[in-house]
Amino acid sequence: MPIERLLTVGLEQIHLSPLRPEGASVTIDPNLYQLVSEAGMISPLVVRRSAAQPRCYELVTGEGLWRIARELGLLDVPVYMLNDLDDTATALAIQVELNRAGQVDPLADSVAVQTFKSKGYTDKAIGSLLQRPRHQIAQARRLIDLGEPARQALRQGDITVGHARVLASVKSKDRQQVFLNQVLSENLSVRQTETRLAQYKPYKPKRRPPSVATHRAAAKTNSKSPDVRRLEMDLTDAVGCPVSLEETSDRGGRLCITYSDYEVLDGLIERMTKAPL
């Protein structure tokens, strides 16, 4: 795995990679421009040593920041310098960054993550390289199991990345195709697709946490007060996952939400971050 070092180098030493697709570009975000002009470089660029120019560096990711720094006339910038980063990994990282601008294959992230994992990178290292939080790296990895028909539907915009994550959880490619056809023919939402897959029992792991119905039944028979049990059941119904409350003091306690798999977690996060609580 490449060794990552944080350095400060002259901006004139950093050049665009020759592996960057010809004609591709990253536009400057005016909000980011304003932020950098007021606070300076907010994060390091990711670079590797240039094979053609020994004292120079090849930009891997951070092109938007690099262009802003040039326009502002900055002399020195912070960089993560990765030793021994090969051409395949560099090209993939560049592709993923362009992907954020909507210019390339939406599956670029999963291909990149799969390649980097095969080279011994950890999720944390991949996150630094691609400038993504670790939970997005985990989400991208799950698309590796997506069958070719679903991949093609995603590339053509017939399904969303949310649909693709749900479909990728179906290990049988034949069964995955069946659900894909249902999504396309019935115009199912991501939530409806999750519900449809939940009715297909082989899709579920062998060992699962208690279901919502089981959790509700258990809440009725435990030693908690009727008010606490009623609140647990109301929260379970509202969240769609088993919820338990544990009193740890006279004035406080712990709330626990149990999810069965990453797809359920993704849906839970989406609902909780988009809808007011």
Q: Are residues 102 and 187 in the same domain?
A: no
Residue 199 and residue 165 share a domain: yes
pLDDT tens digits for range 202-221: 544 444 555 555 555 554 44
Mapped onto helix, strand or coil, the DSSP state of residue 130 is helix
Of 203, 233, 249, the position where a domain reaches its end is 203
Q: Is 120 left (phi over 0), alpha (psi -120 to 50) or beta?
A: left
In this structure, which amino acid lies at residue 159? I
Same domain, 136 and 169: no
Q: Which strand (E) or helix (H) includes residue 174?
A: helix 173-186
pLDDT at 78 over 90: yes
SS3 264: helix
Q: For position 195, which CATH number holds?
A: 1.10.10.2830
Closest CA to 52 of 23, 18, 12, 90: 18
Q: Is 24 inside a domain boundary?
A: yes
Q: Are 244 and 232 in contact (CB under 8 A)?
A: yes
Residues 11 and 134 occupy one common structural domain: yes
Which is more confident, 195 or 236? Answer: 195
Contacts of 197 (CB under 8 A, 6+ apart): 166, 169, 170, 179, 203, 263
Beta 76-82 vs 45-49: how paired, if at all? parallel
- SS percent in the chain: helix, strand, coil, step 5: 55, 15, 35
What's the pLDDT band for 75 if we cut at 50, 70, 90?
A: very high
> Tens of pLDDT along 108-139?
777 777 777 777 777 777 777 777 777 777 77
Q: Is 154 in contact with 107 (CB distance < 8 Å)? A: yes
Average pLDDT over residues 135-160: 84
Number of domains making up the chain: 3
Task: Please check whether residues 156 and 195 belong to one and the same domain.
Answer: yes
Residue 277 lies in a domain: no
Does residue 257 or residue 21 have the better pLDDT?
Answer: 257
pLDDT of residue 252: 80
Q: Would you say residue 267 lies in a domain?
A: no
d(CA 65, CA 88): 23
Across the chain, mean pLDDT equals 79
Q: Which residues contact 67 (CB under 8 A, 6 or more apart)?
A: 26, 28
Q: In this structure, what CATH number is given to the domain that contains residue 30?
A: 3.90.1530.10
User: At which of 93, 111, 141 does a domain end?
Assistant: 141
Q: How many CB atoms lie within 10 A of CB 141?
A: 19
pTM of the model: 0.47
DSSP 8-state secondary structure symbol assigned to residue 25? -
Backbone angles phi, psi at 10, to 5 degrees: -70, 135
Does residue 217 sit in the same domain as residue 173? no
Judgement on whether residues 100 and 162 belong to the same structural domain of the protein = no
On whether both 158 and 228 belong to a single domain, the answer is no
Residue 35 lies in a domain: yes
Domain, as residue range, for 184? 146-203
Instruction: Give a yes or no: residue 30 inside a domain.
Output: yes
* Pair (132, 150) in one structural domain: no
Segment 21-31, tens digit of pLDDT: 766 667 778 88
On whether residue 163 sits in a domain, the answer given is yes
pLDDT value of position 275: 46
Same domain for 65 and 169, yes or no, is no
- Asked if pLDDT for residue 194 goes beyond 80, the answer is yes
Question: Is residue 266 one of the residues assigned to a domain?
Answer: no
Same-domain status, 229 and 250: yes
**Stretch 233-243: mean pLDDT:** 78
pLDDT in tens, 175-190: 999 999 999 999 998 8
- Whole-angstrom distance, CA of residue 26 vs CA of residue 62: 9
Of 166, 186, 203, which residue sits at a domain end?
203
Q: 137 and 35, same structural domain?
A: yes
Q: Is residue 237 included in any domain, yes or no?
A: yes
C-alpha closest to that of 62 among 126, 121, 119, 130: 130
- Contact 243/232 with Cβ under 8 angstroms? yes
Helix (H, G, I), strand (E, B) or coil at 213: helix
Confidence of residue 101 (pLDDT cuts 50, 70, 90): low
Rounded CA-CA distance 107/7 in Å is 32
